[in-house]
Every structure is written in structure tokens, then in C-alpha cells.
Amino acid sequence: MAQDKSHKQQNTLHLCALAGAHAVGFVASAGLLTGVVGPTGDLSKLGAAPFVAAATALFVLMVNAQASDVLKARVVFLKWRDPLPGSEAFSRWMHAHPDIDPGAVQAAVGVLPKAGAEQNRAWRQLYHTMETHPAIADASREYLLARDTTFLGLIFSLVFGAAVWFFPSAVEWRATYAVLAAGFTLLTWRAARLNGIRLVRMVLARVPRPSQSRA
């Protein structure tokens, strides 16, 4: 748990940069930079728009900080019940990679649970025994970053993507922002799913065989 908190803190800068990028994209696509950029630009034409965009970005960051891991996992894995990555660790992912030794995993866990919540709990116990290993730590950080980026991107796409249509800018600019925001969110969603599955597999693959444990 402490390792996860450390990873989340490391990812904060990236998430703030994402919020800033969406705020800038919104201001630009809403046509609020018209007459502002250039040698004769007048910054007063921006009005309160930058402050509103910045305040919205800050609010979304606060929402992300308050959202639970389960809620974010539901967005990533599109499952309401037992959405956490380890919920299918033994029923699905343990047999999906040649580097994983099911016998070693069963020896380490004992009776393999079938319920999703119990699978995730048992998998987390394995994860905590190796969470400081560089490869596992990197995989965990990458999953958390992609997961939070997806969650933030979805909110920004919905909020800014809808709000931009209330401004009298060119349709091409508004459509460009909406398409780019949605496309970026789709890519990070895909990455989050793959990173979560990869983390589960990596932990299972690093479970030592009984002979190695005794050695």
C-alpha cells in the first residue's frame, strides 16, 4: 500500500501536465485565442476563460484524488463487479503465459480462490512480497499512471468536450479538440488495461518454485 502511494505521488506531475494540456486545448479550440496571439494581440480578450479552465482542471484533479481504486478499475476494465486487475489472477491469467508456473503459484498460495475478490486479495499478498523489485515497481507505476490518465481524460473529454460547443469558434477547431481528447483517452484506456494485466502476470511469473524457495 505504501508503495502504491509512492507511485501515485510520482505520477502527480504527469497528471498535472495532462490537466494543463486539456485546459490549453480547450481555450484554443473554443476560439478564445483569436485576437490574442500575435504582435497586436490583446490579452484582455481572454477574459475569465483561462481562470475557468484552470479551475475546472484543478477540480478534476481533486475528483481524481478522491475517486477510489475500484471506481477507476471499473472504468479501465469495464466491469462493475470485481474490477481490480488481480480478480482474475488464478482463473484466467495464471494459465495465459508460459513464464508462469501454476504449480509454484499454487504452492505459494495454497487452495486457489475462485471468487474475484478473494483472488485479488491472494494476488495482492504475492505482490507485496516483491513490490520493491525494480521490474514490479515500474510495472505498478505504469499501470497506476495509465489508469489515472484514463480516468482524468474521460472526465476532461466529457466536460471540456461538451463545453467547447457553446463557444462561437470554428466547427473544425471544436471538433478537433473533441476527437483528439477522445482518441487520447481511448489510447490510455487500452494502455491501462494492458499494463494492469501485465502487472498481474509479472507477479505470478516471479513466484519462486518450491525448490528455489528452500535454496
For residue 47, pLDDT over 60 is answered with: no
Contacts of residue 20, Cβ cutoff 8 Å, sequence gap at least 6? 57
For residue 213, pLDDT over 60 is answered with: no
Query: What pLDDT does 7 receive?
Result: 55
| Other CB atoms within 10 Å distance of the CB of residue 3 | 15
Query: What pLDDT does 181 receive?
Result: 84
Nearest CA-CA partner of 174 in 160, 154, 190: 160
Quote the mean pLDDT of the chain: 80
Query: What pLDDT does 4 receive?
Result: 53
For residue 76, pLDDT over 70 is answered with: yes
Q: Which of 14-18, 117-121, 173-177 has the highest mean pLDDT?
A: 117-121
Query: What pLDDT does 40 receive?
Result: 41
Query: What pLDDT does 69 receive?
Result: 92
- For the residues of the chain, what is the DSSP string, one character each? -HHHHHHHHHHHHHHHHHHHHHHHHHHHHTTTTTTTSSTT--GGGGTTHHHHHHHHHHHHHHHHHHS-HHHHHHHHH--SSS-SGGGGTTTTGGGS-TT--HHHHHHHHSSPP-SHHHHHHHHHHHHHTTTTSHHHHHHHHHHHHHHHHHHHHHHHHHHHHHHGGGS-S-HHHHHHHHHHHHHHHHHHHHHHHHHHHHHHHHHHHTPPPHHHHH-
Mean pLDDT of 123-152: 93
Query: What pLDDT does 58 receive?
Result: 75
Model confidence band, residue 34 (pLDDT cutoffs 50, 70, 90): very low
For residue 96, pLDDT over 90 is answered with: no
pTM as predicted = 0.80
Mean pLDDT of 133-152: 93
Query: What pLDDT does 208 receive?
Result: 87
CA atoms of 210 and 215, how far apart (whole Å):
9
C-beta separation of 126 from 201 below 8 A: no
* Residue in the block written with cell 486479495: 121
* Phi, psi for residue 185 in degrees, rounded to 5: -65, -40
For residue 41, pLDDT over 50 is answered with: no
Query: What pLDDT does 65 receive?
Result: 79
For residue 88, pLDDT over 90 is answered with: yes
Query: What pLDDT does 60 receive?
Result: 73
- Report pLDDT digits (tens) over 104-122: 999 999 899 999 999 999 9
CA atoms of 206 and 82, how far apart (whole Å):
24
